């Protein structure tokens, strides 16, 4: 039997009450994920537990590499079953890793499988879960609806096909699927395929010869996203860069279009300007900006060439600084062009610095108009979430917090929200039992419900 029980991560009676009476049954507002919308539309039953659990999940791939598993059993040509058995063998001794918890919860919640995940039980788990999948025809729709999700914000590049979202709407699912606008492939001017990405944008808008053409093309695409319901955008940066003059960014763009390779300084210049332009554009159309900072990407060039992007070779960066972010936010604010903003930081050493900076740009246009986002990626674990809550309450207002994000490519990732909710309830329950805050459950319970769902729903205007 599994070690997971009703008191999992709930360290006192007050935490148990907060979770069971207020947090547990709240819906999920998935305002940032990487689920493939075409797969949601097709809604085909999954073939086996590997397909639904391991295929495309670089969190799990990374853990297997740390255990010395050969790439053949991760992304290579080994059978689905052999890859699954290798993951179970890996997970059996991964004590303390969030996947050790998440994977166990996923098996129980979605397949009713209560075996502890380890090498000895791997064969039984494979057989039981596959039998469940075959009998119940497990589909993306069933998993999302069964997880009590009301909204799914996928992450889509500017040139993605938006007709999929209209077709999903016609399906009549109990949840909505909406694209979040992401222009990273147009911002990353140093990418090898940049001209190809620019051509994809041109095919949907008009010829792009200079920065004015690019700006108008991006605005056209944002309007198209808004027509299918978009309420959020996403920007991913290792660090925020200085805002150059527009003509400087134009010179970089025209040179790249002419076939020149941008220098590192050129790349920073272009990214600095486009970040400023995009955030101002999002403010113009009242679109929330989700800014993800602090990831150093594609560290292993050999594996990048072999497997491509988003395969588990990114890490935490030391580059992110408050100084350029301060100048960016201040300029946008001075121009009346600062959008509602959720900042996700990957470097926990920067929590307090960034939270204190965001507090300088709040306003009455929304509760928590400028948000410090949930513990993200390498930080969405017990230690990271606890530190995030401690820092958030020390420098901000927890009652305005929009709560957890999924940030996943897996349809089984929704238990992460309950993982966070248990940690949240233990955090508040401990303060109550220590006599450090009110014990009025009517007040505290409503705050818990707001963080779990209501704040996000109101923040995004859903």
Q: What is the pLDDT of residues 374-395, one digit of tens each?
A: 999 999 999 999 999 999 999 9
Q: Are 148 and 30 in contact (CB under 8 A)?
A: no
3-state secondary structure of 154: strand
Angle, helix 415-433 to helix 98-111, in steps of 10 degrees:
120
447: enclosing H helix or E strand: helix 441-449
Give the closest residue to 142 by CA, choosing from 411, 422, 458.
411
Rounded CA separation 380/46 (Å): 27
Mean pLDDT within 53-68:
93
DSSP state of 360: G
pLDDT in tens, 25-52: 999 999 999 999 999 999 999 999 999 9
**Mean of per-residue pLDDT scores for the chain:** 95
- Provide the residue count of the chain: 462
Q: Among 268-277, 296-305, 351-360, which stretch is predicted with the lowest mean pLDDT?
A: 296-305
Which token pair is 6?
A: 């009703």
pLDDT at 370 over 70: yes
Q: Are 126 and 84 in contact (CB under 8 A)?
A: yes
φ, ψ at 157 (rounded to 5°): -70, 160
Q: Among 110-124, 315-329, 445-459, which stretch is predicted with the lowest mean pLDDT?
A: 315-329
State the pLDDT at residue 320: 67
Confidence of residue 121 (pLDDT cuts 50, 70, 90): very high
Mean pLDDT within 277-284:
98
Share above pLDDT 90 across residues of the chain, in percent, rounded to a whole number: 91
Rounded CA separation 206/220 (Å): 10
b (16+ CB within 10 A) / e for 63-88: bbbeeebeeebbbeebebbebbbbbb
pLDDT in tens, 182-219: 999 999 999 999 999 999 999 999 999 999 999 999 99
pLDDT at 311 over 90: no
Give the closest residue to 105 by CA, choosing from 406, 411, 415.
415
State the pLDDT at residue 233: 98
φ, ψ at 285 (rounded to 5°): -105, 15
Q: Provide the 10 A C-beta neighbour count for residue 172.
A: 6
Mean pLDDT within 118-144:
96
Share above pLDDT 70 across residues of the chain, in percent, rounded to a whole number: 100
Rounded CA separation 290/312 (Å): 22
Rounded CA separation 96/353 (Å): 28
Q: What is the pTM of this model?
A: 0.95
Mean pLDDT within 347-369:
93
pLDDT at 422 over 90: yes
Mean pLDDT within 144-157:
97
């Amino acid at each position: 039997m599994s070690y997971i029980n009703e008191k999992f991560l709930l360290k006192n009676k007050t935490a148990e009450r907060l979770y069971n009476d207020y947090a547990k049954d709240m819906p999920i507002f998935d305002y940032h994920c990487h689920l493939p919308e075409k797969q949601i539309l097709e809604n085909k039953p999954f073939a086996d537990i590997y397909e639904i659990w391991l295929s495309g999940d670089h969190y799990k791939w990374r853990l297997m590499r740390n255990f010395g598993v050969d790439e053949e059993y991760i992304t290579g040509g080994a059978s689905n079953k052999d890859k699954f058995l290798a993951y179970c063998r890996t997970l059996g001794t991964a004590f303390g890793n969030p996947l050790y918890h998440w994977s166990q919860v996923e098996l129980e919640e979605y397949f009713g499988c209560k075996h502890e995940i380890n090498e000895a039980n791997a064969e039984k788990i494979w057989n039981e879960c596959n039998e469940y999948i075959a009998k119940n025809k497990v589909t993306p729709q069933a998993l999302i609806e069964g997880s009590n999700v009301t909204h799914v914000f996928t992450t889509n590049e500017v040139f993605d096909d938006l007709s999929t979202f209209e077709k999903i709407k016609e399906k009549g699912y109990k949840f909505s699927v909406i694209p979040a606008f992401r222009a990273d492939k147009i911002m990353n001017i140093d990418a090898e395929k940049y001209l190809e990405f620019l051509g994809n944008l041109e095919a949907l808008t008009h010829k792009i010869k200079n920065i004015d053409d690019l700006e108008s093309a991006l605005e056209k695409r944002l309007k198209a996203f808004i027509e299918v319901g978009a309420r959020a955008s996403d920007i991913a940066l290792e660090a925020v860069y200085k805002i150059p003059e527009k003509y400087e960014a134009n010179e970089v763009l025209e040179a790249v279009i002419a076939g020149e390779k941008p220098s590192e300084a050129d790349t920073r210049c272009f990214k600095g300007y486009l970040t400023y332009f995009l955030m101002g554009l999002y403010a113009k159309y009242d679109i929330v900006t989700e800014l993800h900072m602090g990831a150093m990407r594609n560290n292993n060039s050999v594996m990048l060439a072999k497997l491509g992007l988003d395969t588990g070779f990114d890490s935490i960066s030391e580059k992110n600084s408050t100084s350029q972010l301060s100048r960016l936010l201040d300029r946008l604010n001075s121009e009346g062009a600062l959008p509602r903003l959720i900042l996700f930081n990957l470097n926990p050493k920067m929590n307090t610095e960034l939270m204190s900076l965001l507090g300088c740009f709040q306003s009455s246009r929304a509760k928590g108009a400028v948000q410090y986002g949930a513990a993200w990626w390498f930080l969405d674990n017990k230690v990271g979430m606890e530190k995030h809550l401690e820092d958030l309450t020390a420098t901000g207002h927890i009652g305005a917090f929009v709560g957890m994000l999924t940030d996943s490519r897996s349809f089984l990732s929704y238990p992460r929200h309950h993982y966070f909710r248990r940690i949240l309830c233990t955090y508040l329950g401990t303060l109550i039992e220590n006599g450090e805050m009110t014990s009025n459950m009517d007040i505290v319970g409503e705050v818990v419900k707001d963080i779990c769902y209501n704040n996000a729903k109101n923040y995004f205007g859903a």
